[in-house]
Every structure is written in C-alpha cells, then in structure tokens.
Amino acid sequence: MVVTMLVFGLSRISGDPRSLLISEDATIDVWDELGREMGLDQPVYRQYLIYVGNLFRGDLGNSTLQRKPVTEILWSRIPNTVRLAFASFLFALLLGIPLGVLSAVKHGRWWDRGIRAFAVLGQALPVFWISLVLIYVFSVGLRWVPVSGNAGWTSIILPTIALGWFGAAGQVRILRSSMLEVLNSEYVQFARAKGLPSRTVIWKHAFRNALIGPITFAAVTLAGMVTGSIVVETVFAWPGLGLLAIQAVNNSDYPILQGLILLVTLVYIVVNLMVDILYMIVDPRIRIQ
C-alpha cells in the first residue's frame, strides 16, 4: 500500500507527463484534450484512487513512449530475466555450497585459505567489472562466446557467471562459518565417535543443521539479483527487465519504471514469505514457536 503511494508520488514530482509526448508548439486545446484522456484534470487524490483501482485490475497504465500497456511490455521481458536469474542462482548454489562445505571441513588448510580468498574477492569485485573482464577474456580475447545480446545458448554463459559470482562468494562465507560452528558441536562429535563414515557425518548431521544462515543468504542473493541484473543486462545487452529499466530511465518512461518497482517489491515480499516457510521445513523448532 505504502509502496503504491510512494510510486504514485514519484510519478507526480516528475512533472507533467504530457510534456514528453507533445511538441512545444502544440495548441492549448491539444494539451487539455490529452490531459482529460490521461485523467490529469482530476484532483490529485482522485488520480491516486483511479491509479490504485487500475492496479487491482492488473492495469499499470501505458508506456509514455511506446504507447503500449506496461503489463504487456513487462510480460514480454520477464522470461529472459527469470532464465538469467535462475541460471545464476543455480550457479551460485552449485559453486557456493561445495566450496563452503569443503572450506569448513578442511579448516585451516591450504584449500580453506584458497577458498576464503576467493570468497572475499568475489564479494569485493563490482559486478560490472567482472562482466567486463569476462567479456575481455572470453569474447574479445578467446572469442569463445558472443560479446552481447541473446543469440543462441552460449550467450547466457557469461551473464550467468557475472550475476552468480557475488552470490557464490557470499554463500561460501556464510556456509563456512555455520558449518564450522556445527562441526564443533557435541552431537557431531558424538556421531564421529560412533564411527559413522565422515561423509554421513558431514552431509547428514552437520550440513542440514548449518542451513538456516545459507537459506537467509540465498534469499538475499535472489533479492540482490535485482540490482545485479540491471547492471549485467546493461553490459551484455540481455533483453530482460534490467535492460528495460535502463531504457526506461534513458527515455524518461515513468510508467514502466513504476511498473518495475511494483513488480520487484512483489517479488521481495514473495521471496521473504518463501524463506519463512523454508525455515519451518528445515528447522522444526521454528514451527513450534
């Protein structure tokens, strides 16, 4: 609710949307006519109510530049972003989980040091910089994959790595510290003392109990991909929601930006809800509370 007011407020301090559409020498009649068409002749609170009413009917208004419904434009871009985000998320987990566990198990050894260095670096390198380095090495230098765009399956590889990198590094750090804590606990030591094979101890006893932190972080990663995808999609010209956001900014297309803000907020809320449910599945104690 508050978000809708915020978004509406943003759109109103941006000045009159008509000035974008009409050339400067248009007559006042044309101006007023367009105002009536867009509902701008109503008082502000009525405009807000109309706006919210339209929202509930799934109508986000029309793009000022393309003159097409915002929902239609968003829908056309969603699959690309979902594909990229899903691939990156998978990449982050597939790289982050084994490395995090390995780092904790080999605590203090050479492996651990190497993995920790990767984790600190991975979280310190800006996403846009990683993207450019990847382009420089694999597209410009080795010519293995296309520089940008969405042509064939190879074009998703570099954006996936660039976007998943930060999440992988963070996952390693979180998982490592929670695994270390669990590995030192009495029940894990007891499981070892019973003579269980170390694979069982690590994956069945320790890993499961070390999951709360990593799950929270996975949610943070997913939310962080919003920022990341704007940058990565811009660098790689990947035709998803992030690129759409930058295009909307460049064209001052506020309805699109408003639609994006509402959509992303909705995603945040859904992700948080999913995390709460996952907590209950992983840790039965939370269910009792």
Site membership for another protein, residue 246 (CB under 8 A): yes
| Whether the Cβ atoms of residue 70 and residue 255 lie closer than 8 Å to each other | yes
Q: In this chain, which of 47, 62, 66, 123 binds another protein, going by CB under 8 A?
A: 123
- CA 236, chain centre distance (Å): 16
Torsion over CA: 234, 243, 121, 202 (sign): negative
Site membership for another protein, residue 129 (CB under 8 A): yes
| Whether the Cβ atoms of residue 237 and residue 229 lie closer than 8 Å to each other | no
Distance in angstroms (rounded) separating the CA atoms of residues 54 and 61 = 8
Torsion over CA: 71, 76, 81, 86 (sign): positive
Site membership for another protein, residue 13 (CB under 8 A): yes
Site membership for another protein, residue 260 (CB under 8 A): yes
Shortest distance in whole angstroms from residue 231 CB to another protein: 6
Residues 49-78 that bind another protein (CB under 8 A): none
Site membership for another protein, residue 121 (CB under 8 A): yes
Angle at the Cα of 149 (from 146 to 152), degrees rounded to 5?
Answer: 65
Site membership for another protein, residue 202 (CB under 8 A): no
DSSP state of 144: -
Stretch that binds another protein, among 33-41, 182-190, 196-204, 271-279 (CB under 8 A): 271-279
108: left (phi over 0), alpha (psi -120 to 50) or beta: left
Site membership for another protein, residue 227 (CB under 8 A): yes
Site membership for another protein, residue 231 (CB under 8 A): yes
Site membership for another protein, residue 211 (CB under 8 A): no
| Token code pair at residue 152 | 């064939």
Interacting residues toward another protein by CB under 8 A: 2-3, 6, 10, 13-15, 120-121, 123-129, 132-133, 135-136, 140, 216, 226-227, 230-231, 234-235, 245-246, 249, 252, 254, 257, 260-261, 264-265, 268-269, 272, 275-276
